[in-house]
Amino acid sequence: MNGNLNYIIRRLIYLIPVLLGVCFLIFILFNVVAPDPVNMMLGKHPTADQIIEVREQLGLNKSLPAQYLDIVKSAFTFDFGRSWATKQQISTMFMNGAIPSLTLTIPAFFIATFSSIIFAVIVAYFRGKGVDLFIRVTCIAMMSISSLVYILVFQYFLAYKWGLFEISGYEYGFPNFLYYVSLPILIWVVLSLGPDIRFYRTLILDEIYQDYVRTAKAKGLSERTIMFKHVLRNAMIPIVTYTVVQLPFLLLGSLLLESFFSIPGLGDMTISALNASDFPVLKAMSIVSAVAYIIFTLIQDIVYTVVDPRIKLQ
């Protein structure tokens, strides 16, 4: 237990320089490479007083090292200042947008993941047979269709024509939000099944052709026992890697789905910030996603020990 705790502490310390490096890249991108926001906000012929006033409001009158330290400070305090476009506190905007985004992305992601793993186990178990071929061909066909086609067709027929779902909008509170996110969740799952099933199937088949499987068969173990007791457990390590790496991006919502279904989440907020050249919001989104990715990388290593006890945190 002490060894695991020491490992976690060391990893947290190692993550500090990584975070500082990420903040430096964000600083270069938004504070050095990006065009001067003052000119974008004031137009072509601003007065000198207007330029001084706006640069002071935006904190651009500080030295470059001071601006970099502001980014580092925001990464640790999550205080990102105010939006240029809406004048609201960005942290408040994040809190308001996170709820709609997470009510969409979390159930959609886990439903898609569990469904894909189940189908992948089925096709791997019946590999080379009709079920395997049918599901693989279906996956390829699903992947060949644009995500926009799924959104427009599902929205037109399931929501507008047949009235099974709400066309767009969002309402806070359970179970009210379910009426609005059910169709986007369904579309997310359908879009994810094709690539995820093929990916998980490949991982499982890689394990099936390992030497330990042939040894288990020689000992007389049944195909089902080998699949569920040995193969699936060993395949869970790359599956966990693939899954945990995607979790941080759930915080950012879904740009496409939130836009088409008018869900006021972080994805919709990002699109609005892009259209308005709202750099503080875009910078905050970059910082949050980087911090979340770094944290979930540590969680990933810890989860490994749960999935496979042979792995020790050292």
**CATH for 99-307, options being 3.40.50.12160, 3.40.390.10, 3.10.150.10, 1.10.3720.10:** 1.10.3720.10
Query: Is-contact 242 255, C-beta < 8 A?
Result: no
Torsion of CA 25, 30, 34, 35, to 10 degrees: -150
What pLDDT shows up at residue 185? 95
Mean pLDDT, rounded, of the chain? 85
pLDDT at 256 over 90: no
Torsion of CA 197, 201, 202, 205, to 10 degrees: 180
Neighbouring CB atoms inside 10 A of 195's CB total: 14
Domain definitions of the chain by residue range: 2-77, 99-307
pLDDT at 103 over 80: yes
Q: What is the pLDDT of residues 116-129, one digit of tens each?
A: 999 999 898 888 88
Q: What is the pLDDT of residues 143-164, one digit of tens each?
A: 999 889 999 999 999 999 998 9
pTM confidence score: 0.84
146 torsion bin: left (phi>0), alpha (psi -120 to 50), beta (else): beta
Query: Band of the pLDDT at 107, cuts 50, 70, 90?
Result: very high
What pLDDT shows up at residue 296? 84
What pLDDT shows up at residue 151? 92
What pLDDT shows up at residue 280? 86
What's the average model confidence in pLDDT over 121-142?
Answer: 89
Q: What is the pLDDT of residues 58-90, one digit of tens each?
A: 777 788 888 899 889 998 888 888 888 888 899
pLDDT at 305 over 70: no
Q: What is the pLDDT of residues 21-43, one digit of tens each?
A: 989 998 898 877 777 676 766 66
Q: What percent of the chain has pLDDT over 70?
A: 91
Query: Is-contact 121 226, C-beta < 8 A?
Result: no
Rounded Cα gap, residues 289 and 203, in angstroms? 27
Query: In 3-state terms, what secondary structure has residue 89?
Result: strand
**308 or 203, which is more confident?**
203
Residue 84, both tokens: 């240029």
Q: What percent of the chain has pLDDT over 90?
A: 29
